[in-house]
Chain A
């Protein structure tokens, strides 16, 4: 409907919305709604549609078409732009993910409106939306406003409060039959990364990060072991990635991934500005480093000055005991 807050659905490619959608839908509700989900997929499940309603969507615009997977901007933009022109939403929100990041930028260009990327706060100021976003390696925050609607913003995962799942709530589903353009881009294949069995870095609630103090690639196994116990992802600092100890996809920081977990624990990480840029919005920060002068202690909530090779095994033991209780 006109004036709605749209939330673009990020799914697991198997018909289920990802849990980050609870954050996006929750924020749209908090901003005043009305809240509607827009889901482009090759396959939506009934469970998934119900889940969107439970998280606060009053309506789901569903575009289900085999041509929509995998994501290609040139295929996704035209039908959504057509729907925007018909429905006049007030705002379009999406989580920061690999495809939404590109899609939202292209859609904003198509619609001729502004986009606030990687927002960490949204608030209404009278009738206008104001977004807050980190800039300059997270050294400053910038408040941004739009010249016109729809206000478009991507939301950093793990920052916004997720909606509680309301079992009774349901969304009306409108299945759309918009024309899907043919693709110039031809999909060849998907190459899966070797799975660590641990959560994805940007989605994890707990992240362990190993820096130069890890001394070598062979030692990350102790972090993976701890990660396995507490359900944490394992990342690395730039120093460790540049030394070739970990593949680049594990890098946390300005030239890597931006994370905002409930709990970040850095081991042998000094806390260079470019690393802080990727993790400083974490809720609780723990630092373990031999060097009491390491800059990471300045932003840490808890610190242990000590040898990570003594601390990590001890942590693994303690958490094992705790979680077995």
Chain B
């Protein structure tokens, strides 16, 4: 079975982000980039499916500028067989829907049996692309999955979707789109051999025109980025535990009216 995994390169959580000169984007100077953690769960799950079935191919796909090659190399180092890089300045302002349309076009070209993605990317936290890709493709989709089992002949997949208060188990016909939630697996670290091998693996470059996608005005645009409003300074309550707890409870009740 061919499995396509969509990944996004994002700033490392610990990286300082600063608002750029135009006030609408961040200043990317000095940022450490990583593969969005949820996408690593998706890559890991795809590799496990391939290993369990003893055959198949895992293709990593990403959209973005030149630096995104690094993220694709990481996916290849983990064990993906090859990668596709949609690298087109015309797509620089892509919103989730444009991204979903571009990725769906890649899916149509590649015709995989399954598409895996992370539940959301940790930069803009939209969490929309997987479901939107499924809608564009007309495929069934299950979001926030905690487990999956593909049947022997690769026709259906049984998944557990995390919902409030439990898991909902569904059986989906393949092809389908699944988005991975944390807890589904523990992503592997690339081995030295994997890292060396990744250098020889293919990364195919595509433009929007190769996919029959025309860059369109985004449906959702950022009009401004803002720093967080400062929280009022806090108060450390000193004293013996008994006294400080008493004062805390009083303050929560009477000053903050929080309880």
A binds B: yes
Do B224 and A186 have beta carbons less than 8 Å apart? no
Which B residues are in CB contact (< 8 Å) with A239? none
Residues of chain B from 226 to 259 with CB closer than 8 A to chain A in the complex: 226-228, 231-232, 234-238, 241-242, 244-246, 248-249, 251-253, 256, 258-259
Q: Does B1 reach chain A (CB closer than 8 Å)?
A: no
Do A314 and B245 have beta carbons less than 8 Å apart? yes
Surface stretch bound by A, among B60-68, B131-139, B198-206: B131-139
Do A302 and B241 have beta carbons less than 8 Å apart? no
Surface stretch bound by B, among A143-151, A158-166, A215-223: A143-151
Q: Report if A301-B126 is in contact (Cβ < 8 Å); known contacts: A138-B228, A144-B222, A190-B168.
A: no
Q: For B163, give its contact among A98, A139, A274 (CB under 8 Å).
A: A98
Do A144 and B221 have beta carbons less than 8 Å apart? yes
Q: Report if A304-B244 is in contact (Cβ < 8 Å); known contacts: A140-B17, A191-B167.
A: yes
Do A102 and B143 have beta carbons less than 8 Å apart? yes
Do B11 and A136 have beta carbons less than 8 Å apart? yes
Q: Report if A200-B223 is in contact (Cβ < 8 Å); known contacts: A115-B96, A283-B258.
A: no
Q: Report if A302-B234 is in contact (Cβ < 8 Å); known contacts: A117-B125, A186-B170, A249-B162.
A: yes
Do B236 and A77 have beta carbons less than 8 Å apart? no
Nearest opposing residue in chain B for A187, CB measure: B170
A273 to chain B, nearest CB (A): 6
Which B residues are in CB contact (< 8 Å) with A206? 258-259
A278-310 near B? 1/0 per residue, CB < 8 Å:
001001111000001000011111111111001
Q: Does A130 reach chain B (CB closer than 8 Å)?
A: yes
Q: For A143, give its contact among B126, B128, B129, B222 (CB under 8 Å).
A: B222
Do B96 and A248 have beta carbons less than 8 Å apart? no
Which B residues are in CB contact (< 8 Å) with A307? 241
Bound form: Cα–Cα A109–B137 in Å: 10
Q: Does B197 reach chain A (CB closer than 8 Å)?
A: no
Chain A interface, DSSP helix/strand/loop, else mixed: mixed
Residues of chain A from 188 to 241 with CB closer than 8 A to chain B in the complex: 188-193, 195, 200, 202-203, 206, 230
Do A109 and B100 have beta carbons less than 8 Å apart? yes
Nearest opposing residue in chain A for B241, CB measure: A310
B32 to chain A, nearest CB (A): 13
Q: For A315, give its contact among B135, B144, B166, B248 (CB under 8 Å).
A: B248
Bound form: Cα–Cα A314–B245 in Å: 7
Q: Report if A105-B241 is in contact (Cβ < 8 Å); known contacts: A141-B228, A144-B221, A186-B171.
A: no
Nearest opposing residue in chain B for A251, CB measure: B182
Q: What is B's interface to A at a CB cutoff of 8 Å?
A: 11, 13-14, 17, 19, 26, 37-38, 95-97, 100, 122-132, 134-136, 140-144, 158, 160-173, 181-183, 217-228, 231-232, 234-238, 241-242, 244-246, 248-249, 251-253, 256, 258-259
Given A108-B219, A303-B235, 19 extra CB contacts under 8 A: A74-B141, A77-B135, A98-B143, A101-B143, A102-B143, A105-B130, A114-B95, A135-B225, A137-B13, A137-B122, A142-B222, A187-B169, A189-B168, A191-B167, A254-B122, A255-B122, A277-B13, A304-B245, A319-B259
| A–B Cβ pairs within 8 angstroms, 21 of them | A105-B129, A109-B132, A109-B136, A114-B97, A114-B219, A114-B220, A118-B125, A118-B127, A137-B13, A140-B26, A143-B223, A147-B217, A185-B170, A193-B166, A255-B122, A292-B236, A301-B232, A304-B236, A304-B241, A304-B248, A315-B249
